[in-house]
Structure 1
Amino acid sequence: MKIATYNVNGVNGRLPVLLRWLEEEQPEVVCLQELKAPDDKFPQGAIRALGYDVIWHGQKSWNGVAILSRIGQIHETRRGLPGDAADTHSRYIEAAVGGIIIGGLYLPNGNPRPGPKFDYKLRWFERLIDHAAGLIETGLPVMLAGDFNVMPTDLDVYKPERWQDDALFAPEVKAAYFRLLDQGWTDALRELHPGEAIYTFWDYFRNAYARNAGLRIDHLLLSPTLAGRLVAAEVDAHVRGWEKTSDHAPVWIELAEKPRARRQSKVAKRSG
């Protein structure tokens, strides 16, 4: 099973890019972020025409998340994170798909730091950690996938010395990410690429993509009962080079039907 996450940076404006990628790669399940569209403007017809069921949680101009499946119906289990009834941002959607619970998320950016946006990011992260603990406790196969807006280590950012004051690289944010992992989650991309500078985002400015001056901020985290099925994890970096494309590239994993032989973890040491 191939499962992907993709921050589309505007689902309607980038729809030709999204549809092209879906047709070429044909992932079974996809989590989308940054739809930037209200619910009634989501292009469900074009996506369903490719054979995907889809659920979405939109918001005008900002945020927005969705889950796509071409392996059967999506059974939505949650819309929005618990813990703050006043939070109206469309940043989390969760569903049972193909025997897996998938939480699709778009974690706040948090800039400028310090300030109210950074405080909101930390609060949202704490709510995610609390909810994720409950998901782990179920013992079910669970995945958290999306744009986490955090570079966990120096290996995940081009020239880390330039990002010391940024909310995506703040010590508090990196610490929160590793507290999440300490619950038992496996960072799929880093598990299979432990020493590689591998990126998922390249800014539109300063010719970043051509220089490979990127960031790794899109992650797929696997619960213990799912991690044993991981066989591949890659970034479709070439999609970032397409015309009128997102500043993110799709990230995907492949899961075997059954757990494979247990291997020694190859996750890189925490740095930065």
Structure 2
Amino acid sequence: MIKIATYNINGINGRLPVLLRWLKEESPDVVCLQELKAPQERFPIQAITDAGYKAVWHGEKSWNGVAVLSKYDITEVSRVLPGDKDDTHSRYLEVIVNQLVICCLYLPNGNPYPGPKFDYKINWIKRLTKRTKALLAMEIPVILIGDFNIIPTEIDTYKPEKYTDNALFRIEVRKAFEDLIAQGWLDTIRKLFPDQKVYTFWDYLRHAYSRNAGLRLDHILLSPLLEDRLLEGGIDRHVRSWEKTSDHAPVWICLKEQ
């Protein structure tokens, strides 16, 4: 069995004690991190190595940054989502781990809507969809995993009417997610919890976590070759209650070994 997780850490150096505590308690085999908020040279590789993980990361000085931690060897494929040579954001990392292609992504937020940030989000999704189509055509086992900044359906938010004109929930964005799923990807958490309101993000404001006023933004999608290997999954929502924690909670699945 292999346990694979995603976690928007919201600042890896500031939240490092939280990350290390969670890694020790849950011991995932592979972890995809987003929103490192650290330049390349400030990634805490020694602490990660001491925790028993290898790492590939793409830092950025400002708000972005992605990383893959693994107990297995990691082969880097790409740290750029194809389709825009002028896009310098650190939002995409494609690697091979244990014969799995893993695409760790931090999809743009897109707010405010309308505006250039929303346009950038839509264009980024188009680029992602083109890449995922190419990956599926290769007929290889692929995982799309990370913070998609997309609320797929009404059940994925505590208050749908509040988000009508939010870039996380705009009809264009939800339609794009539907089109992505229609390529053949399995939304694992929705598969495992088909009728439940399960969330991965709770704002810091207005006691959102204690009120369970959450959103499901973090997703793990499997290509068709992996569907039969899905065993279980969940959201470590209790991590959101820890001191100085991220506003996201870790999301994980377990796959049968091949």
Q: Classify the TM-score, shorter chain.
A: over 0.9
Deviations 1:134-188 (A, max 9, x none): 1111111100000000000000001111111100000000000011111100000
Separation in 1, partners of 2:43, 2:257: 32
Separation in 1, partners of 2:33, 2:148: 12
Structure 1 stretches lacking a partner, 5+ long: 259-272
Separation in 2, partners of 1:85, 1:61: 19
Matches within 5 A, 1:8-23: 8-23=9-24
- 2:129 counterpart residue number: 129
- 1:25 counterpart residue number: 26
- 2:76 counterpart residue number: 76
- 1:235 counterpart residue number: 235
Give 1:61 deviation, angstroms: 2.1
What SS does the corresponding residue of 1:253 show, helix, strand or coil?
A: strand
- 1:104 counterpart residue number: 104
Separation in 2, partners of 1:211, 1:113: 27
Separation in 1, partners of 2:103, 2:28: 17
Matches within 5 A, 1:104-183: 104-183=104-183
> Partner amino acid for 2:118?
F
Give 1:228 deviation, angstroms: 1.1
* Equivalent residue pairs, number: 257
Separation in 1, partners of 2:213, 2:232: 24
- 1:63 counterpart residue number: 64
- 1:268 counterpart residue number: none
- The structure 1 segments of at least 4 consecutive aligned residues displaced by more than 3 Å after TM superposition are none
Separation in 2, partners of 1:12, 1:61: 13
Structure 2 stretches lacking a partner, 5+ long: none
User: % of aligned pairs identical?
Assistant: 61
Separation in 1, partners of 2:179, 2:80: 21
Give 1:99 deviation, angstroms: 1.1
Q: TM-score, normalised by structure 2?
A: 0.99
Does 1:185 find its partner at 2:157? no
- 2:55 counterpart residue number: 54
What SS does the corresponding residue of 2:69 show, helix, strand or coil?
A: strand
What SS does the corresponding residue of 2:205 show, helix, strand or coil?
A: coil
Separation in 1, partners of 2:171, 2:206: 26
Give 1:133 deviation, angstroms: 0.4
Separation in 2, partners of 1:67, 1:151: 24
Separation in 2, partners of 1:98, 1:213: 37
What SS does the corresponding residue of 1:246 show, helix, strand or coil?
A: coil
What SS does the corresponding residue of 1:211 show, helix, strand or coil?
A: coil
> Partner amino acid for 1:66?
A
Separation in 1, partners of 2:126, 2:163: 23
C-alpha RMSD over aligned residues: 0.5
> Partner amino acid for 2:47?
A
Deviations 1:100-133 (A, max 9, x none): 0000000000000000000000000000000000
Deviations 1:61-84 (A, max 9, x none): 2100000101x2100011110000
